[in-house]
Structure 1
C-alpha cells in the first residue's frame, strides 16, 4: 500500500472512531498519523519541485523554506476547518490538493497551485 493510501485509510479510521463516539485515537496513533501527514506533504512537495525543475523552471527559495510554507498552509487549513490540537493536521482540507490520488475541491487545488507558483521563477 502506498503512503497516500495508508494516510487516507488512517484519516478515515480516526474520523470514524470519533464519529462513533469511541473517543480520540491514542496519543501514539495520533503522533504516527501526524508524522505520516508531514512525511507525505514533504514528499509531495519534493516531487512537484523536481518536476518543476525538470521542466526548466527554477525554485526561487531554499527547499526547507518551501516545505515550511506548505506545512504552515496545512496547519492553517486544519485550523480554518475547525480542527485544533493533536491529530488536527490529518483533517486539513488542503491535504486533498497536495496528496496524489485524492480528489480536491477547486478552492484547495487553487490554493496549493498558488503556493507552488509563489516559489517558482519562470
Structure 2
C-alpha cells in the first residue's frame, strides 16, 4: 500500500513539474512577444516621425539657405552657412554620443524587465 501511495505521489510530482515547465515556457514566449512587439512598434513610429521630421528639416534648410543667401546677396554663401551649421551639429553629436548610452539603456531596460 505504501508503494502505491509513493508511486501516486511521484506521478503527481512528475505531472506538476511538467505543467510548471509548460507554463514557464508559455510565459517566456508571451514575454518575448510583448518585448518584440514594443520594439517593432517603437521602431516603426520612430522611422515614420523621423522621416517626416527629416523632410521638414530638409525644406527648412533650403529656405534658410536661400534666405541667408538673399541677405548676403550670394546664394552660395547661404548654402555654405547652412552646410557649416550641419557640420558643427555633427561634430557636437559625435562628441556627446557616449552621453546617449545611459538613457537608451534605461529606456530599453524598462521595456524588457517590465512585468506583463
TM, length-normalised to structure 1: 0.31
CA radius of gyration, larger in: 2
TM, length-normalised to structure 2: 0.32
| Higher relative contact order structure (alpha carbons within 8 Å, sequence separation ≥ 6) | 1
Higher helix share: 2
